[in-house]
């Protein structure tokens, strides 16, 4: 079977397709356009594509048509079910429109088993896939500072480096599905940090401290974190606009803790902290706040304290 070589990726030769133009996807696609690449997009709601079209993007009628017009296709959608329908649908899925040696890159936080299924289906068609979910939120997406967690064939990830460099910093973490497993572990850490930050701020306020002064005092010590830098001021300012929806945290943490069958190594991780975080983010959803950003977790802690 062939590989994408020897043709290097370049704005003048490589045609890019993009599916998923939500808060983060639109910012990432905009960066690809700004880097000089030709971009074709697919949107279930075409009117949402107007800002990118004004930057020069073309609009496709289906994932299948988009794949026919692209050398590399990125997906950045909401749920594993969205990934499956956009990639594997037997009538409109992008996989069936890819030409040999083309590459599909899924940047959605999705299911590791699905990533492996898609990889195997692509190789059967002499194509390639990479699972490359990201961390860094909407700020990282806009500024091109995302952490990109890539699984698949190492040489294909290396070949894609010029595109990943536009979006952030890529780390190859292993074979197909490894990127998704890395993102689940990432979300376990992020969820725990958001919970600790939320409880720390609620406690500081109840104790009569100036919460901004509190945060400034501790950010340079062991309590400091990227979560604090990204979301601390937002939380204090009651800015709960989403970089990623709280309901997505429920999904991501659920893929780590709601294990219904053993993984390939025959081991299931016991994750009590992640399970508690999932329940608290689920409380956000139950309170009608699932479309807020994950930093809105503090509202659950506040409700538990009678606010």
Told to judge if 183 belongs to the known catalytic residues of this protein, a careful annotator would answer yes
Q: Which residues are paired to 103 by β-bridges?
A: 72, 128
Q: Are strands 15-19 and 134-135 parallel, antiparallel or unpaired?
A: unpaired
In whole angstroms, what is the distance from residue 265 CA to residue 150 CA? 20
Which residue, 206, 65, 78, 62, is CA-closest to 133?
Answer: 78
What residue segments make up the domains of the chain, in order of their start?
A: 16-175, 182-305
Question: What is the model's pLDDT at position 138?
Answer: 87
Whether the full predicted model's pTM is greater than 0.75, yes or no, is: yes
Residue of 183, 251, 291, 307 marked active site: 183
Between 1.10.730.10, 2.30.30.240, 3.10.20.520, 1.10.1040.10, what CATH number should domain 182-305 receive?
1.10.1040.10
CA 32 to chain centre: 16
Parallel, antiparallel or unpaired: strands 146-151 and 134-135: antiparallel
* Segments of the chain scoring below 70 in pLDDT: 1-6, 259-267
Fold agreement (16-175, 182-305): no
pLDDT tens per residue, range 224-236: 999 999 999 999 9
Highest CATH level, class, for 16-175: alpha beta
Cβ-count burial 164-177 (b if 16+ within 10 Å, e if not): bebbbebebbeebb
Query: What rounded mean pLDDT belongs to the chain?
Result: 93
**What SS3 state is found at 150?**
strand
195-205 residue pLDDT tens: 999 999 999 99
Phi, psi of 124 (to 5 degrees): -65, -25
Name which of 185, 86, 93, 210 is nearest 133 in CA terms. 185
Query: What pLDDT was estimated at residue 258?
Result: 80
Q: What are phi and psi of 143, to 5 degrees?
A: -95, 0
Specify the 3-state DSSP secondary structure of 260: coil
């Amino acid at each position: 079977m062939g590989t994408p070589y020897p043709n290097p990726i370049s704005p003048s030769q490589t045609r890019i397709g993009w599916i998923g133009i939500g808060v983060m996807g639109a910012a990432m696609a905009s960066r690809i356009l700004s880097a000089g690449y030709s971009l074709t997009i697919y949107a279930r709601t075409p009117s949402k594509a107007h800002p990118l079209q004004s930057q020069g993007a073309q609009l496709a009628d289906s994932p299948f048509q988009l794949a026919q017009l692209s050398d590399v296709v990125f997906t950045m959608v909401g749920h594993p079910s969205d990934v499956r329908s956009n990639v594997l649908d037997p009538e409109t899925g992008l996989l069936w429109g890819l030409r040999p040696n083309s590459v599909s890159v899924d940047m959605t936080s999705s299911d590791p088993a699905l990533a492996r299924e898609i990889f195997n289906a692509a190789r059967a068609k002499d194509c390639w896939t990479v699972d490359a979910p990201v961390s860094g939120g909407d700020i990282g997406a806009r500024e091109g500072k995302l952490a990109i967690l890539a699984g698949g064939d190492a040489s294909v990830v290396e070949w894609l480096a010029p595109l990943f460099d536009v979006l952030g910093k890529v780390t190859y973490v292993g074979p197909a599905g490894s990127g998704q497993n890395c993102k689940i572990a990432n979300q376990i850490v992020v969820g725990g940090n958001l919970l600790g930050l939320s409880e720390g701020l609620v406690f500081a306020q109840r104790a009569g401290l100036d919460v901004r002064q509190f945060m400034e005092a501790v950010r340079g010590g062991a309590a400091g974190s990227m979560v604090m830098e990204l979301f601390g001021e937002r939380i204090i300012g009651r800015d709960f606009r989403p970089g990623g929806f709280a309901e997505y945290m429920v999904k991501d943490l659920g893929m780590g803790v709601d294990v219904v069958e053993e993984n390939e190594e025959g081991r299931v991780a016991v994750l009590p902290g992640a399970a508690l975080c999932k329940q608290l983010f689920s409380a956000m959803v139950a309170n009608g706040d699932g479309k807020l950003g994950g930093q809105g977790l503090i509202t659950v802690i506040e409700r538990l304290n009678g606010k």
